[in-house]
Chain A
Amino acid sequence: DADVTQTPRNRITKTGKRIMLECSQTKGHDRMYWYRQDPGLGLRLIYYSFDVKDINKGEISDGYSVSRQAQAKFSLSLESAIPNQTALYFCATSVAGDQPQHFGDGTRLSIL
């Protein structure tokens, strides 16, 4: 079983819809992250959480929200999806901020 699991793996939806991407981990790490990957831009940080009560905005948080339901679960929501949010989304975990992160296999999201 994967240590960091993202669901769904693929999603196609329409502009204006509310979307939730889910991430769960079995690594026992306190820190969790959401990134998006776009061609030519690498991975950009959307939100990160140091623990259940600590959530922080990343570089590109506008249009997104998150919820840390438990140490093991961190979900990303798009309240009203727009086409430029079409991207590959990754969840990651780490022991500490300066330690290597462990990534899920990604969610490919297409917004029409």
Chain B
Amino acid sequence: DQQVKQNSPSLSVQEGRISILNCDYTNSMFDYFLWYKKYPAEGPTFLISISSIKDKNEDGRFTVFLNKSAKHLSLHIVPSQPGDSAVYFCAASPYYGQNFVFGPGTRLSVLP
């Protein structure tokens, strides 16, 4: 049973538009969440995080929203650029320092 789910394996968006990537989790103990971005032939790189004391965290074009009651988070990319085309992983952890659980990833394609 996957504790972290990313139900869309892939997503295509036009350049300049908003990309919305979704992540759902089942463990109510999860308190800290990360998004990673992965290009082919490279390892994942950290993108943005959010803890349960917030419902939104913003870094440039990237914003993560957390809805704890729904056990749902989303990553918004505005505006989307072709260089954003990658696989995005959501990861979750209880805040007291246990290891992260990763979702299966969503492949984003930003079309010029």
Residue numbers of A with Cβ under 8 A of B are: 4, 33, 35, 40-45, 48, 58, 90, 92, 96-98, 100-106
Contact residues of B: prevailing secondary structure:
loop
Q: How many residues of B contact A (CB 8 A)?
A: 26
Contacts of A35 in B (CB 8 A): 102
| Cβ–Cβ contact B43 & A97, under 8 A | no
What would be 23 A-B contacts, judged by CB atoms less than 8 Å apart? A35-B102, A40-B9, A40-B104, A41-B104, A42-B4, A42-B89, A42-B104, A42-B105, A43-B44, A43-B89, A58-B99, A90-B43, A97-B97, A97-B98, A97-B99, A98-B93, A101-B46, A101-B100, A103-B44, A104-B43, A105-B43, A106-B42, A106-B43
Verify if B53 is at the interface (C-beta below 8 Å from A).
no
A106 to B41, CA, bound (A): 7
Q: How far is the CB of B37 from chain A (nearest CB, A)?
A: 11
Pairs A-B, 3 closest by C-beta atoms: A103-B43, A100-B46, A97-B97
Interface centre among B49, B93, B102, B103 (most CB of A within 10 A): B102
Contacts of B104 in A (CB 8 A): 40-42
Residue-wise interface mask of B (54-79) relative to A, using a CB-CB cutoff of 8 A (1 in contact, 0 not): 00000000000000000000000000
Residue numbers of B with Cβ under 8 A of A are: 2, 4, 6, 9, 32, 34, 41-46, 49, 89, 91, 93, 95-100, 102-105
Told that A96-B97, A98-B98, A105-B43 touch, could you supply 7 new A-B pairs with CB distance under 8 A?
A: A97-B97, A98-B95, A101-B100, A103-B43, A105-B41, A105-B42, A106-B41
Q: How far is the CB of A48 from chain B (nearest CB, A)?
A: 6
